[in-house]
Homo-oligomer: A and B are copies of this chain.
Amino acid sequence: MNGRHSGRPTLEEVAVRAGVGRGTVSRVINGSPRVSDRAKAAVEAAIAELGYVPNRAARALAGNRTDAIALVIPEPETRLFAEPYFSDIIRGIGAELADTDMQLLLTLIRTPKERARFGQYLAAHRVDGVLLVSVHEDDPLPDLLEQLEMPAVLNGRRSDLESVSYVDADNVGGARAAVAHLIDRGRRRVATITGPLDMYVARARLDGYRQAMADAGLGGGAAGGGATGGSGAGEELIAAGDFTEEGGRRAMRELLARRPDVDGVFAASDVMAAGARAVLREEGRRVPGDVALVGFEDSAIARHMDPALTSVRQPTEEMGRTMARVLLEEIAERAAVRRHVVLATELVQRESV
């Protein structure tokens, strides 16, 4: 009735080999300080000799934890935000997790049904924490996570009042710098192509645009303090996009129709900037000669865009790293301490403008 060993040595065998009890072996493995050096050495030797590797499942079962975290990616977003952004995030997360024995579970959520099932998923204690990217304002997942008291970190935030821990780029600052740059270069009729305004990131970038315009005394709207509201004459310099190239095209056409004299455009994403540039060229405008473009670097295509195109770079990989670090901390302390991290962006000037 015994002995259908799966081949691999168990903690028990290590204990025997080392001439100690199982408890001691467990303590050594988990780095408990309450072990004599002698015992510790013996155990470590036995582990090495036997090639012992702890069984995760057993550990998870007994310890009521999984040593795994989930990276949740809503499927639609994966397309929108151009993939390299995620790649970098993932790279960062991976880098941070490398020293840990924490596993990274990839969880793609594509349907509302799967979204619903996610609750169960978490409930089943299948992960110690959750990393969430591309959260929309009305995303119920963060609240669910909070209810379940599940450690979680968002990439970005739903609003200024985000309660769940998050790591975000300084979108306002980045946008502001981008627009200020255009203005510094002598552009006066600077327009912006926004992202979908139900996303905080899009609103933040629009805010940055407004602030920069206001700072320069140009009529970019009512802002200056950070409020997204505000309307006025400058509104005709604002066109809504949706972070897609086609959206960028549409918005650029709209802008051109409303203000043929536009001489600078800040697009809230490089993909939209690419679309805008295409339209500008079709319309016979020189870029950046007639119209200068600055985009937010969300995607790899930035590297393949017009070399003269300046853009706002986000510390994407660093964000991934930070997300993981924050999550690990949150898991370590059982307390629900929320952390809000905003990382600086950088204006990468490609050429003349």
Contacts and interface: CB of A to CB of B under 8 A. Distances in A.
A98 B83 contact: no
Interface in A296-335: 299-301, 303-305
Contact of A106 (B8, B57, B60, B90): B90
A30 interface: no
A6 B125 contact: yes
A108 to B, nearest CB: 4
Given A300-B83, A304-B301, A106 B54 contact: no
B94 A106 contact: yes
A27 interface: no
Contacts of A299: 300
A345 interface: no
A86 interface: yes
Interface string A80-118: 001110110011001100100001111110100010000
Q: How large is the interface on A (under 10, 10 to 19, 20 to 34, 35 or more residues)?
A: 35 or more
A309 to B, nearest CB: 12
A318 B66 CA distance: 32
A83 B299 CA distance: 10
A185 interface: no
Contact of A56 (B98, B124, B274): B124
A105 to B, nearest CB: 6
A66 B114 CA distance: 21
A126 interface: yes
Given A84-B83, A301-B300, A55 B124 contact: yes
Interface in A324-350: none
Given A91-B78, A300-B82, A6 B58 contact: no
Given A6-B64, A105-B106, A53 B83 contact: no
Contacts of A83: 83-84, 86-87, 300
Contacts of A125: 6, 8, 55, 57
A120 B108 CA distance: 27
Contacts of A60: 56-57, 60
Given A8-B125, A68-B105, A299-B300, 8 more contacts: A51-B123, A57-B57, A57-B66, A78-B91, A83-B87, A91-B108, A94-B106, A104-B106
Interface of A: 6, 8, 51, 53-58, 60-61, 64, 66, 68, 71, 75, 78, 82-84, 86-87, 90-91, 94-95, 98, 103-108, 110, 114, 120, 123-126, 245, 274, 299-301, 303-305
